[in-house]
Structure 1
Amino acid sequence: MKKLGSMQVHYMAINATFLTPKVAKAYDIERSRFNGLINISVLDDTKPSTPAKAVTIQGKARNDIGQIKTLEFDEVKEGDAIYYLAQVNYTNEETFYFDITISDGKETHQLKFKQKFYVD
């Protein structure tokens, strides 16, 4: 989790095979040994119960040899929760450097992190 202004940003990047086939199908996620899933959720830190916050998310992933992939995030709502999901294809032991812009219309912040993916 990273605190960015009034936002609590929770994020992870995982191998898509960690999802069950049922969950992957429900969210139109390719469940492959060569596909990663980026999951971001944003909570509003200005409210007492820190509810989920709808935001605009754009991002890119760069690998070690400078190849850049544009991430396409889909918004998923489940009850009071809001998630933003994107997929990225990778090769074994490929590291990606993620640069993601998050905006709620009042604040805009950059989230940067890296993740190494492994083919199982």
Structure 2
Amino acid sequence: MKRLVTAGQPEGAVMAARRSGRGLALRARFTWLEAQLTKPKAKFTELKAYSKELRAKFTELKAMSTELKAPAMLLLALVSSNASAQQFDQVGSNQIHYTAIETTFIADEVAARFGLERRPGLGMVTVSVLDANGESRNVAVDGSIADLNGRQPRPLAFRRLREASGGISSIATFPIDYAAPMRFQLDVQLDRNASPHPVSFIQRFYRDE
């Protein structure tokens, strides 16, 4: 059988041109396939980053959940960052957390939720007790406020607030004396068969000009 050769073009050159054409086509195909593979890789990288972001968000929410179960959990939701810091007494395996604030520090939505009054000159003392496992305890709280010398004591009428998460806080409101520091004398009944644990602290309030 005779082979057809283009006039003036050696047979070897024709074959080389064909091989070169096939090589270009294969390289183009490979480039296209590589581009197709790059897209899923990019998408995978994007999803991986998004998954990492979700894990970070979950960790943050988990930390927030833990914080809500932490000492005086209700109080953390009630007051703003400008309110006075919480204090606590360690009594055996129990922690007694307490604080006194002006009710203007309570967020509007929280006040509405728990039926709390917000106004200048009205204070609120809050007491929360946690056991060794960090669980909120339902204990009786009583107490009074007076001046630094203990004169003219005024009783505090405590009532309990319960969170859906199980947190319990005892709260009582009182008129604020801006002229001098106020002494708080509290009795926390940790054990029904024992005397209440006394908690005493002094706090001064300043009028918001």
TM-score (norm 1): 0.87
Q: Percent identity?
A: 28
1:19-98, aligned counterparts within 5 Å? 19-45=106-132, 49-64=133-148, 66-78=151-163, 79-98=165-184
The one-letter amino acid paired with 1:53 is R
Whose radius of gyration is greater, 1 or 2? 2
SS at match of 1:24: helix
1:15-57: per-residue Cα shift (whole Å, max 9, x none)? 1100122222322322111011111100113xxx221111011
1:49-86: per-residue Cα shift (whole Å, max 9, x none)? 22111101100011247221110111111122111111
Structure with the higher strand share, 1 or 2: 1
Structure with the higher helix share, 1 or 2: 2
Over 3 Å counting, the alpha-carbon distance change for 1:91 and 1:99 in structure 2 is: closer
Superposed CA RMSD: 1.7
Separation in 2, partners of 1:41, 1:13: 12
What residue ranges of structure 1 are gaps of 5+ in the alignment? none
Equivalent in the alignment of 1:99: 185
Runs of 4+ with >6 A deviation: none
Equivalent in the alignment of 1:116: 204
Higher relative contact order (CA 8 A, sep 6+): 1
1:10-25, aligned counterparts within 5 Å? 10-25=97-112
Instruction: Give the number of equivalent residue pairs.
Output: 117
What residue ranges of structure 2 are gaps of 5+ in the alignment? 1-87
